[in-house]
Structure 1
Amino acid sequence: MTDGIDLRDATPGDDAGFKPHTSHWGVFSARWRDGKLDVRPHPGDPDPNGIIDNFPAALRHRARIAQPMVRKGWLERGPGPDDRRGRDEFVPMSWDAVMDLLGSELARVRDKHGPGAVFGGSYGWASAGRFHHAQSQIHRFLNTALGGYVRSVNSYSSGASSVLLPQILGGYEEITKRNVSWEQIAEHSDIVLAFGGMALKNSMVAGGSISEHVERGAMERASARGCEFVLVSPLRSDLPVAARAEWLGAIPGTDTALMLALVHTLAVEGRHDRDFLDRYTVGWPVFERYLLGATDGQPKDAGWAAGLTGVPAETIRSLAHRLHGRRAVIVVSHSLQRAEHGEQPVWMGAVLAAALGQIGLPGGGYAYALGAIGYYGRRYNAVPGPTLSQARNGVAEFIPVARIADMLLNPGTQYRYNGQTKTYPDIRLVYWAGGNPFHHHQDLNRLRKAFGKLDTLVVHELAWTATARHADIVLPCTMTLEREDIGCSSNDPLMVAMHPVVEPYGEARDDYAIFSGLAERLGATEAFTEGRTVRQWLEYLYEPTRTALAEQGLPAPGFDEFWTAGSMMLPQLPDDGGHLRKFRDDPDANPLTTPSGKIEIFSETIAGYGEPDCPGHPTWLPRVEVPRPGTPMFLVANQPATRLHSQLDFGGHSTDSKHRGREVAQMHPTDAAARGISDGDIIKLFNERGACLAGVRVTEDICRGVIQLPTGAWYDPVDPEDDNPLCVHGNPNVLTRDVGTSALAQGCTGQITTVEVERFDGNLPPIQAFEPPVTAAA
């Protein structure tokens, strides 16, 4: 299995010296020569991602952290709440001194308050390497050295769906990873109705390594075969040109109403699949009464939906007719559930697919989040990849991931989650390694206040993100190119030996080295390290893959052979449609893991929770956040195209996309003209929560009444002494609302908010986001 494309390059001349490596956005090779980094994508990738071009400028950028730093106020006054976080000076310290200091603080909190007073923050996207996976490293350390920590569950991307889908369709990963594939779309689908689209900027990245970007090609092949793509989104770019899609520019947040009207048309015209609904679902009669208006006096017909969505009634009825009797797949993107009542479009999309009778067919049914991330819609590997054990967490308490500010601001307060009444813990210390909450959290000015309540905030970072600037103790960690690892994903066949390309920047250390030093100070060296060096860990983690290959009678090279080769192709399982296909073939022998064993159109379980904001079946619920005087426009704060989240925002590919140093927003010519705004102006977006500046691109590829500004520009307040400072760089999360999707899932609602927009004519403040903070003497 070592006969895949060799990522090393030992040829003479100018091409010599490239070493294999990989990232969340693609496998690549790199070399460091004459003080310059060169990168090139995997030669077998049909559609390489340009994000790898962030590496050269980022590797030795001035934003990198060169040595351990401690916030001056914390050093002078000791642990405790402090509103100076984020605007204080830092004092450089030696590694020995800072490790002794932090070891003592961890012991103090553990011994005085218990491990339940520690929150372990990490978002898991720090590296495609499976050993230097920051989330695994920090959780393993906190479990072995402190006895546990308060954790978070779910994700900002799928907070609502990951709670809902197991209750109505079964296992979340079965639905997203082993269901409708890109191969099936290319070969079998007749019509793809994509709510929120399948933007390539999203599917270009994956949780692990990714060697082939197949999405554009699959849509191109499907379209050439005659498959129709229909995009429902305020943004035309949410499907690539290759799909040749019909664009329905719906008002943001109204997808549920449109889906209801499609099902209503099918039902009243007798075009819904009654046999499928009777055999494979529960709750249709209850839902149908709501659909037809028997329970509330309002039929959910096309005329009703037209007034809510902005899509003409005849277009809705025509679309329902086009879906009927064809191999149709309903796609609902992550973006739809990152909003008020985010559970509803996820649930309603499944009901629409069920009403069409398409669930479980090749290239048909319900493809939740297809295109949302690079490892969805692909085959599973037939052997396991490397995985670092996180050990046992002795603390049972957790929070939904997007509720961190609520937890820090309201310890002891009760809240509802997934049918339970829970209580926010009293957190004294937050330890963050991997992730930048000042990117993915909402209402950043509120988050600043929340972090001010802590005794201590510890951050591992490679660069001066806003999270690092708000920390008390900042420990510089290595970038992926500065260490060795194994890159792998459960849905990508290429496993990569990630060779280090350059020495660590300044005094930066691997997370493993940092945690090993702290474990020694806390008497937990053996529990954390098990006596292994990094190379010994890589050999240990590789062995289950080698063993599984040998058991299948396949070539199973030893670690040294794999490392020298640079990569290895792994076998993959058939594209069999997973459990939903088996369920369709024989629902009695292969029931779903839902309470009823069937698709739950009406859920007795969810209805029993009694949550007004998430009833027992999909429902159109009025929103709080709607345009009104003072904030007359919708803001769509979606994922960026030139970086992963906020990672390497200071890299060349990311900075080249900015305008006069600011992130770029898009708005319709009509909205721009009404405000005296021209293409290329600097604009100010604002609401009651905050304000930010951005460049502007005026385009007809966005609906009227909508402005779009991607997330990920590093938070850069021009006046950090102000309670609501202006972010001059263009971070939309100073504007978004920090509330849960509902009491069921408590997911984030950061995708959509409302704002006013005006041209900015004042003196333009400089961008300081990538400048190191002020340092002071000890």
Structure 2
Amino acid sequence: MERISACTLDCPDGCSTIVTTDEHGNHSIKGNPAHPITQGYTCKKGKHALARINAPDRITTPLMRSGSTFVPVSWDKALTTIVDKISTLRNTPDRMLHVRGYGFHGVLADTSRYLFGQLGASGTRGALCDNAIMESCILDFGALDQNSHTELLNADCIVNWGRDVLRSSIHTATLLKDARNKGCKIVSISPASPEEGMRIHVSDLHIQIRPGTDRHLAAAVIRRLANEGIPDNILNRTSNSSTFVRFIKTLDERHLLDACGVSSTELSTLVEIYGKENFAVSSIIGWGLQRYIYGGENVRYINALCMLSGNVGQKGAGSYGGVSTGRNFDSSWRSGSKTSRKLLTPKLADEILDANDIEFLWCDGTNAINQTPEATKMTQAFSTIDMVVVVDAFMNDTAKRADIILPCALIYEREDVLGSYFHNYIQYSAKVFEPKGEARADYDIARDLANRLSIPFPEIDNILAQALDTKEVTNLTKNPLEKIRQQGFLPTDRPAVAFKNLQFGHPDGKYCLPESALHDEPEIDTDFPLSLLSLINKDYEHSQIPAEEQQEQLKAYVHPATLKQYRIEPDGQAYIVSSIGKLLVQAVADTSVHQEAIIVRRGGWMMFNRCANTIVEAHVTDIGENAAYYSQRVRLEVSE
């Protein structure tokens, strides 16, 4: 038997999947061959879903703290205890805090936002991941949009500014290979080769840039183009070109190249690519280059390069930064929330401690202690709260510090509809299995709690029907809820080329170039000269890593010359040291890594001494209030 469903992980591909059950009751997952993006295959992260569902250490009954341990309790006992606490805070809702992450995507995944919005609880603002890109693109284009994924196949050249497609989006990697096979040139720009250790190579040229300095390289290209002359038909479609171009011409090229560590020859190659007439260039903006203090500026200067080189609003030419997963849905079903205090997500530990009045915390969809900067301080912040409720399926770093743990259903155990931040299709994630043990879908948990609090709660079909009632959906499909449940996915009515004819979303219809000066990198503290980059894991999504896979020591990938500088033997023990702590690692020699960087793979848990966020300070980006993880400076020390 086969059932069409979809992967809800925090991944751009938004795969439509087929879950097969054979005559012996064995299950398997494969990509849906009928889906235009998924095309019959999916990645390891999605295929791990069955192991996660059936994991022996999965939490399948409500747990309540008893001293230093947890004891199983009934759902009634757990929810009654929670309701009693919430009831004492109804008149002071700011003392309740709701923290929701994106461990899984979907319309129904947001039902906890509805519930705590009705209560008027404190929430969060800013983000750990993508706000710097999204807010920067809105400042530039006036709207969050990009060309269809298919337009990559019409490009003459694709410049990949730092996106590790082989670990983050295998379907993007396939598109790049297909484009390359058609004769498209692929250039990658990043502090480390994203293809190191991978079997597939999709780049013709790799430019190794100093971490976090992409804006300087983009500005250097723009400066050359400006000196050669930018056509009036492009300049006239911007609201501030004269000021910006005048500023760009004052910049010193040598200073820009020294700042980013790129050669004049490499710059000339990029100038030739972006400056060639009748030559379509698509630029992919990696999600890593926004995770610096000047991450927004990085994005804006790359966008400006695309615009001023004539590579916006054309077939095969555009800037791919990402779009909102919810942009094709109507989210007004969540309206009616009361005004609430918003705590800054990248500095959540300090925000909780400074507020000093949070008495109740509900945490779902995120391993918050593990994933936020200053993880040790987050542990302290949690300890100041009277009641912490965590909705999760595993005893991770956050669940371990809860007072009540509510077991949630996982992928294929709950229904949902989700979008993508890469392509324009929407997917239906069908419920294939009943939840294990007493686990419940997040919607069911929120509805039960709402009923006990006498808060009206919308029905699933009403939520999904309203969410799908948008022109992007209904222009192509009538009765979309019925259709998506049958077919498993739906197209949306979006143009293949964004910002055609250089018409933008600002009130004047024009593009807005960066208006502030180009910032140099913060001065380097000689005690901490290296950049710590906690990059994406190819096998697991963020911290959704089985405990048995975390028994080996965390590996840190370092250039051999850097290891030699610190007198550390390859594969030897070393400490990564920051101003707030140190982390013991195995130092692996890797020639693909920039000599000023250290790379670790993200998601490891504190309890296994694999969490990089224990030594990452709470830096915030210039735009979007995003966590600037990669601006963390560190050094290496020999382990005695």
Scaled by the length of structure 2, the TM-score of the pair is 0.87
Partner deviation per Cα, 1:275-308 (whole Å, 9 max, x = no partner)? 411x111223323343233xxxxx331x222322
Q: Percent identity?
A: 19
Go from structure 1 to structure 2 and tell me whether the alpha carbon gap of 1:40 and 1:360 turns closer, same or farther (over 3 Å shift): closer
> Following the alignment from structure 1 to structure 2, what is the Cα–Cα distance between the partners of residues 543 and 753?
43
- Aligned residue number for residue 185 of structure 1: 152
Partner deviation per Cα, 1:217-255 (whole Å, 9 max, x = no partner)? 321232223322221111111698443331111110111
- Aligned residue number for residue 254 of structure 1: 213
Go from structure 1 to structure 2 and tell me whether the alpha carbon gap of 1:216 and 1:93 turns closer, same or farther (over 3 Å shift): same
Match of 1:163 among 135, 138, 141: 135
Question: Are 1:222 and 2:190 an aligned pair?
Answer: no
What is the Cα deviation at residue 700 of structure 1? Answer: 1.9
> Following the alignment from structure 2 to structure 1, what is the Cα–Cα distance between the partners of residues 602 and 57?
19
Question: Are 1:313 and 2:264 an aligned pair?
Answer: yes
Partner deviation per Cα, 1:568-595 (whole Å, 9 max, x = no partner)? 45344364313x114x2xxxxx5x3336
Match of 2:375 among 427, 430, 444: 444
Go from structure 1 to structure 2 and tell me whether the alpha carbon gap of 1:165 and 1:23 turns closer, same or farther (over 3 Å shift): closer
Question: Are 1:581 and 2:500 an aligned pair?
Answer: yes
> Following the alignment from structure 1 to structure 2, what is the Cα–Cα distance between the partners of residues 344 and 693?
33
> Following the alignment from structure 1 to structure 2, what is the Cα–Cα distance between the partners of residues 400 and 32?
48
Which has the greater radius of gyration? 1
Match of 2:464 among 541, 546, 559: 541
Go from structure 1 to structure 2 and tell me whether the alpha carbon gap of 1:484 and 1:361 turns closer, same or farther (over 3 Å shift): closer
Number of residue equivalences:
626
Match of 2:59 among 55, 65, 80: 65
> Following the alignment from structure 1 to structure 2, what is the Cα–Cα distance between the partners of residues 496 and 254?
40
Match of 2:99 among 118, 121, 142: 121
- Aligned residue number for residue 733 of structure 1: 613
- Aligned residue number for residue 546 of structure 2: 650
* Aligned ranges 1:479-490 → 2 under 5 Å: 479-486=410-417
SS at match of 2:129: coil
Equivalent residue letter for 1:470: R
> Following the alignment from structure 1 to structure 2, what is the Cα–Cα distance between the partners of residues 276 and 487?
37
Go from structure 1 to structure 2 and tell me whether the alpha carbon gap of 1:697 and 1:492 turns closer, same or farther (over 3 Å shift): farther
Equivalent residue letter for 2:437: G
> Following the alignment from structure 1 to structure 2, what is the Cα–Cα distance between the partners of residues 496 and 43?
15
Equivalent residue letter for 2:61: Q
Question: For structure 1, which segment, 638-647 or 323-332, has the greater mean C-alpha deviation from structure 2 after superposition?
Answer: 323-332
Question: Are 1:670 and 2:546 an aligned pair?
Answer: no
Partner deviation per Cα, 1:46-85 (whole Å, 9 max, x = no partner)? 4421112322332232432233223345xxxxxxxxxxxx
Task: Give yes or no for contact 1:64–1:462 (8 Å, CA) kept in 2.
Answer: yes
* Aligned ranges 1:400-411 → 2 under 5 Å: 400-411=344-355
State the Cα RMSD in Å.
3.4
Task: Give yes or no for contact 1:19–1:499 (8 Å, CA) kept in 2.
Answer: no
Question: Are 1:103 and 2:83 an aligned pair?
Answer: yes
Question: Are 1:151 and 2:151 an aligned pair?
Answer: no
- Aligned residue number for residue 745 of structure 1: 624
What is the Cα deviation at residue 546 of structure 1? Answer: 9.7
> Following the alignment from structure 1 to structure 2, what is the Cα–Cα distance between the partners of residues 23 and 622?
37
> Following the alignment from structure 1 to structure 2, what is the Cα–Cα distance between the partners of residues 184 and 551?
24
Task: Give yes or no for contact 1:386–1:545 (8 Å, CA) kept in 2.
Answer: yes
> Following the alignment from structure 1 to structure 2, what is the Cα–Cα distance between the partners of residues 257 and 367?
19
> Following the alignment from structure 1 to structure 2, what is the Cα–Cα distance between the partners of residues 42 and 575?
24
Task: Give yes or no for contact 2:49–2:411 (8 Å, CA) kept in 1.
Answer: no
SS at match of 2:191: coil
Question: Are 1:601 and 2:513 an aligned pair?
Answer: yes
SS at match of 2:361: strand
Go from structure 1 to structure 2 and tell me whether the alpha carbon gap of 1:538 and 1:733 turns closer, same or farther (over 3 Å shift): same
What is the Cα deviation at residue 30 of structure 1? Answer: 4.5
Equivalent residue letter for 1:39: I
Equivalent residue letter for 2:522: R
What is the Cα deviation at residue 119 of structure 1? Answer: 2.0
Task: Give yes or no for contact 2:553–2:585 (8 Å, CA) kept in 1.
Answer: yes
Match of 1:244 among 203, 212, 218: 203
Go from structure 1 to structure 2 and tell me whether the alpha carbon gap of 1:489 and 1:451 turns closer, same or farther (over 3 Å shift): same
Go from structure 1 to structure 2 and tell me whether the alpha carbon gap of 1:651 and 1:661 turns closer, same or farther (over 3 Å shift): same
What is the Cα deviation at residue 642 of structure 1? Answer: 1.2
Task: Give yes or no for contact 1:386–1:486 (8 Å, CA) kept in 2.
Answer: no
- Aligned residue number for residue 197 of structure 1: 163
Match of 2:526 among 628, 637, 650: 628
- Aligned residue number for residue 113 of structure 2: 139
Equivalent residue letter for 1:650: P
> Following the alignment from structure 2 to structure 1, what is the Cα–Cα distance between the partners of residues 379 and 194?
33
What is the Cα deviation at residue 550 of structure 1? Answer: 12
Go from structure 1 to structure 2 and tell me whether the alpha carbon gap of 1:594 and 1:688 turns closer, same or farther (over 3 Å shift): same
What is the Cα deviation at residue 29 of structure 1? Answer: 0.9
> Following the alignment from structure 1 to structure 2, what is the Cα–Cα distance between the partners of residues 558 and 69?
36
What is the Cα deviation at residue 488 of structure 1? Answer: 5.8
What is the Cα deviation at residue 680 of structure 1? Answer: 4.6
Equivalent residue letter for 1:338: R
SS at match of 1:708: strand
Task: Give yes or no for contact 2:163–2:288 (8 Å, CA) kept in 1.
Answer: no
What is the Cα deviation at residue 457 of structure 1? Answer: 1.8
Equivalent residue letter for 2:464: L
What is the Cα deviation at residue 702 of structure 1? Answer: 1.6
- Aligned residue number for residue 304 of structure 1: 255
> Following the alignment from structure 2 to structure 1, what is the Cα–Cα distance between the partners of residues 112 and 428?
23
* Aligned ranges 1:314-329 → 2 under 5 Å: 314-325=265-276, 326-329=279-282
Equivalent residue letter for 2:432: P
- Aligned residue number for residue 432 of structure 2: 500
SS at match of 1:335: coil
Unpaired segments ≥5 residues, structure 2 = none
Go from structure 1 to structure 2 and tell me whether the alpha carbon gap of 1:361 and 1:633 turns closer, same or farther (over 3 Å shift): same
> Following the alignment from structure 1 to structure 2, what is the Cα–Cα distance between the partners of residues 429 and 324?
56
> Following the alignment from structure 1 to structure 2, what is the Cα–Cα distance between the partners of residues 152 and 238?
36
Go from structure 1 to structure 2 and tell me whether the alpha carbon gap of 1:37 and 1:681 turns closer, same or farther (over 3 Å shift): farther
Question: For structure 1, which segment, 226-235 or 385-394, has the greater mean C-alpha deviation from structure 2 after superposition?
Answer: 385-394
Task: Give yes or no for contact 2:147–2:496 (8 Å, CA) kept in 1.
Answer: no
- Aligned residue number for residue 18 of structure 2: 28
SS at match of 1:499: coil
Question: Are 1:92 and 2:72 an aligned pair?
Answer: yes
What is the Cα deviation at residue 121 of structure 1? Answer: 1.0
- Aligned residue number for residue 703 of structure 1: 594
Go from structure 1 to structure 2 and tell me whether the alpha carbon gap of 1:19 and 1:171 turns closer, same or farther (over 3 Å shift): closer
Question: Are 1:511 and 2:390 an aligned pair?
Answer: no
Equivalent residue letter for 2:621: T
Go from structure 1 to structure 2 and tell me whether the alpha carbon gap of 1:504 and 1:32 turns closer, same or farther (over 3 Å shift): farther
> Following the alignment from structure 1 to structure 2, what is the Cα–Cα distance between the partners of residues 339 and 163?
15
> Following the alignment from structure 1 to structure 2, what is the Cα–Cα distance between the partners of residues 107 and 543?
30
SS at match of 1:573: coil
What is the Cα deviation at residue 348 of structure 1? Answer: 1.1
Task: Give yes or no for contact 1:116–1:395 (8 Å, CA) kept in 2.
Answer: no
Go from structure 1 to structure 2 and tell me whether the alpha carbon gap of 1:97 and 1:736 turns closer, same or farther (over 3 Å shift): same
Go from structure 1 to structure 2 and tell me whether the alpha carbon gap of 1:264 and 1:391 turns closer, same or farther (over 3 Å shift): closer
Scaled by the length of structure 1, the TM-score of the pair is 0.73
- Aligned residue number for residue 338 of structure 2: 394
SS at match of 1:466: coil
Partner deviation per Cα, 1:495-537 (whole Å, 9 max, x = no partner)? 4461332x4333322223323332233222xx02x5x5xxxx2
Partner deviation per Cα, 1:742-763 (whole Å, 9 max, x = no partner)? 3x532210124222234656xx
Equivalent residue letter for 1:263: I
Partner deviation per Cα, 1:335-364 (whole Å, 9 max, x = no partner)? 112111222111111222232122211122
* Aligned ranges 1:290-439 → 2 under 5 Å: 290-293=247-250, 299-301=251-253, 303-325=254-276, 326-369=279-322, 389-411=333-355, 426-439=357-370
> Following the alignment from structure 1 to structure 2, what is the Cα–Cα distance between the partners of residues 157 and 271?
37
Task: Give yes or no for contact 2:6–2:427 (8 Å, CA) kept in 1.
Answer: no
